[in-house]
Amino acid sequence: RSGSPLSPPDAVSQVTVRDALNQALDEELERDERVFLLGEEVAQYDGAYKISRGLWKKYGDKRVIDTPISEMGFAGIAVGAAMVWLRPVCEFMTFNFSMQAIDQVINSAAKSCYMSAGSISVPIVFRGPNGASAGVAAQHSQCFAAWYGHCPGLKVVSPWSSEDAKGLLKASIRDDNPVVMLENELLYGVPFEMSEQAQSKEFVIPIGKAKIEKPGTHVTLVAHSRPVGHCLEAAAVLSKEGVECEVINLRTIRPMDMETVEASVVKTNHLVTVEGGWPQFGVGAEICARIMEGPAFNYLDAPAVRVTGADIPMPYAKILEDNSLPQVKDIVFAVKKTLNM
- Give the model's pLDDT for residue 10: 59
With a cut of 80, say whether residue 7 has pLDDT above it. Answer: no
What does each C-alpha distance from 276 to 152, 283, 341 come to in angstroms? 22, 10, 25
List, for residues 221-241, the tens digit of each pLDDT value. 999 999 999 999 999 999 999
CA distance 60 to 283: 39
The reported pLDDT for the residue numbered 11 is 77
Q: Is 157 helix (H, G, I), strand (E, B) or coil?
A: strand
CATH topology for 211-339 is Rossmann fold (3.40.50)
Residue 1: predicted pLDDT: 40
pLDDT at residue 12, rounded to an integer: 86
**Per-residue pLDDT tens for 95-135?**
999 999 999 999 999 999 999 999 999 999 999 999 998 99
For residue range 33-86, list pLDDT tens digits in order.
999 999 999 999 999 999 999 999 999 999 999 999 999 999 999 999 999 999
Q: Phi/psi at 115 (nearest 5 deg)?
A: -75, -15
The torsion defined by the Cα of 287, 324, 226 and 252, in degrees rounded to 10, comes to 30
Q: What is residue 336's three-state secondary structure?
A: helix
- Return the pLDDT at 31: 97
Q: What's the mean pLDDT when you consider all of the chain?
A: 95
Q: Which fold has domain 13-199?
A: Rossmann fold (3.40.50)
Side-by-side strand order, sheet with 35-39: 64-66, 35-39, 87-91, 125-129, 179-183, 155-157, 252-254
Angle in degrees, CA 202, 172, 158, rounded to 5 = 110
pLDDT band of 322, cuts 50, 70, 90: very high
For residue 29, give the H/E element and its range. Answer: helix 17-31
Cα 279 to Cα 288, 306, 308: the distances in Å are 12, 8, 6
- Assess contact for 189 and 16: CB atoms under 8 A: yes
Which DSSP letter does residue 102 get? H
Residue 313 has pLDDT above 90, yes or no: yes
Q: How far is CA 307 from the centre of its chain?
A: 18
Q: How far apart, in Å, do the first and last CA atoms of the chain sit?
A: 36
- Say how many CA atoms lie within 13 Å of 68 toward its Cβ: 5
Average pLDDT of the residues in 186-207: 95
**What pLDDT score was predicted for residue 8?**
52
- pLDDT at residue 5, rounded to an integer: 45
Of the candidates 172, 170, 188, which has an alpha carbon nearest to the alpha carbon of residue 51?
188
C-alpha–C-alpha distance, residues 123 and 113, integer Å:
10
Q: Write out the residue limits of the CATH 3.40.50.920 domain(s) in the chain.
A: 211-339
**pTM confidence score:** 0.94
Asked if residue 109 lies in contact with residue 79, where contact means CB atoms within 8 angstroms, the answer is yes
Report the run of H or E that residue 13 belongs to, with start and end.
strand 12-16
- Residues labelled as active-site residues: 71, 140
Q: How far apart are CA 337 and CA 335, in angstroms?
A: 5
Residue type, 200: S
Quote the crossing angle between the two packed helices 328-338 and 227-239, to the nearest 10°. 60
Q: Please report how many Cα atoms fall inside a 13 Å half-sphere around the Cα of residue 298, on the Cβ side.
A: 2
Residues above pLDDT 70, as percent of the chain: 97
Per residue in 135-183, pLDDT (tens digit) is 999 999 999 999 999 999 999 999 999 999 999 999 999 999 999 999 9
Considering only CA atoms, which of 222, 100, 82 is closest in space to residue 154? 82
Half-sphere exposure for 170 (CA within 13 Å, toward CB): 24
